[in-house]
Structure 1
Amino acid sequence: MTGAGPPRGAVARLATVLALAGGVALLGVALLTTASVLLRWAGAGPVTGDVEMVQLGGGLAVLGFLAYGTLMRANIMVDSFTARLPRRVTRRMDGLWSLLWGVVALVLAERMAVGAAEALANRTATIGLLGLPLWWAIGLGALGFAATGLAALHWGGRLLRDRG
């Protein structure tokens, strides 16, 4: 691993796969929305369950992109108070915030994993026309947060060691 490039390895591969899956989900949502609008315009009525599928697909797309954005350090950063500080100080501050974000993301991942297990046990489904089971989507969200947390912890340690 070099000092300037993004991390490599299993977490990077997982983040990449999740981002690609998020892109496919987002493309699917766009196509579904287009088809539903065109069908309504043509007088045939919307695609049955379009709202449920768009909600699930949109949420999964966001969680799919989150780990890759963290891995590439492409998330929004506000540096208006630290822009004039020495580079080493800002790296250390970024490292601490990355560690905090990593811990928060891993806690969210664990809570979502528990939620997925409960949704499976309770047979929780979407409220709507399709009644789609939710456990799998919550589980994929947990995976997205777990990958995000690992990527953030990696960067936090790297920045604190002044290797970012």
Structure 2
Amino acid sequence: MAAGVVLLATAGLTTASVLCRWLLGQPIAGDFELVSIGSGLGAFGFLAYGTLARSNILVDTATTWLPARVNRGIDAVWMLVWTVILLVLAERMAQGALETMRSGTTTMVLGLSTWWAVGIGAACLAATAVVALCWCGWLLRGRG
């Protein structure tokens, strides 16, 4: 839900900035910075839900003839691969957040600190890894 709210706010900011540019000849200062941060956080925010709903792209053309149990096993292996990838990315982003905080990196126009956004992205990836790992267990137990 929070990701949806962030994306709606981002869309509203974009609309307001375009209107300001059209009516007043000036956009909202830092609009592109806020839109880029908001879009990134919105996308990261939807990853865990997408994984929970298994709304990712499934290519099963070559395995439809196999028994359901075998297909669940294959899906569990790939979900485990997804979990490992997510954990690596979450760890790297967490390191990036710490480094960004230490270096005092800010946005160009508004001077906003960016470490918190990177940290939220890392937390979203970690949450998605937890969901993916749950799916591994569910698939191996016959659910899915």
Is 1:132 the equivalent of 2:112?
A: yes
Q: Is the 8 A contact 1:125 1:131 kept in 2?
A: yes
- 148, 152, 156: which one aligns with 2:136: 156
Q: TM-score, normalised by structure 1?
A: 0.84
Q: Give the partner amino acid of 1:73.
A: R
Question: What residue ranges of structure 1 are gaps of 5+ in the alignment?
Answer: 1-19
Q: TM-score, normalised by structure 2?
A: 0.95
Shift of 1:84: 2.3
Q: Is the 8 A contact 1:113 1:138 kept in 2?
A: yes
- 46, 50, 56: which one aligns with 2:27: 46
Shift of 1:131: 2.4
Question: What residue ranges of structure 2 are gaps of 5+ in the alignment?
Answer: none
**Number of positions where the alignment pairs a residue of Structure 1 with one of Structure 2:** 144
**What SS class does the counterpart of residue 42 from structure 1 fall into?**
helix
Cα shift readout 1:25-67 (whole Å, capped 9, x = no counterpart)? 1011000000001111113310100000000000000000000
Deviating beyond 3 angstroms after TM superposition, the runs of 4 or more aligned structure 1 residues are: none
Q: What is the RMSD computed on CA atoms of the aligned residues?
A: 1.1
- 18, 23, 31: which one aligns with 1:37: 18
Question: In 2, Cα distance between the equivalents of 1:76 and 1:130?
Answer: 38
Q: Give the partner amino acid of 1:48.
A: A
